[in-house]
Amino acid sequence: MPAPSLPLAEASLDLEHCTSCQACVELCPEVFGWDEDQELPYLKTSQGNEEDLRKAAAYCPKDCIQVTSLQRKTP
Ligand code: SF4
């Protein structure tokens, strides 16, 4: 299994103040999916590229996205 070359981070979503702007889905589609019925984003997976996740968190107008860095394991 190849070692991940990019820093990984864990994402969590608090949608209480979400405006359904979909910025997170556009910026980091590998982690954030879009629920058409509820018109809210959801987490496809809890982990993703840290840079993309931090960008999504920075663009979220309501600070719904929390990003936690994960330590890379060395073989
Ligand atoms: S960027 Fe923030 S406010 Fe916009 S859809 Fe995603 S979680 Fe909701």
The per-residue pLDDT for 6 is 80
* Residues paired with 41 in a beta bridge: 34
The per-residue pLDDT for 73 is 58
Contacts of 49 (CB under 8 A, 6+ apart): 6, 7, 8, 9, 28, 30
* Residues paired with 47 in a beta bridge: 10
Q: Which residue has the higher pLDDT, 5 or 68?
A: 68
Work out the number of other CB atoms within 10 angstroms of the CB of residue 74: 5
Give the model confidence (pLDDT) of 12-62 as tens digits. Answer: 999 999 999 999 999 999 999 999 999 999 999 999 999 999 999 999 999
Work out the number of other CB atoms within 10 angstroms of the CB of residue 64: 20
Residue 9, classified by CB atoms within 10 Å of its CB into exposed (0-12), middle (13-18) or buried (19+), is: buried
Domains of the chain from N-terminus onward: 8-69 (3.30.70.20)
CA of 34 to the centre of ligand 1 (A): 10
Q: Ligand 1 test: best mutation among 18, 26, 28, most atoms within 8 Å of CB?
A: 18
pLDDT of 11 above 80: yes
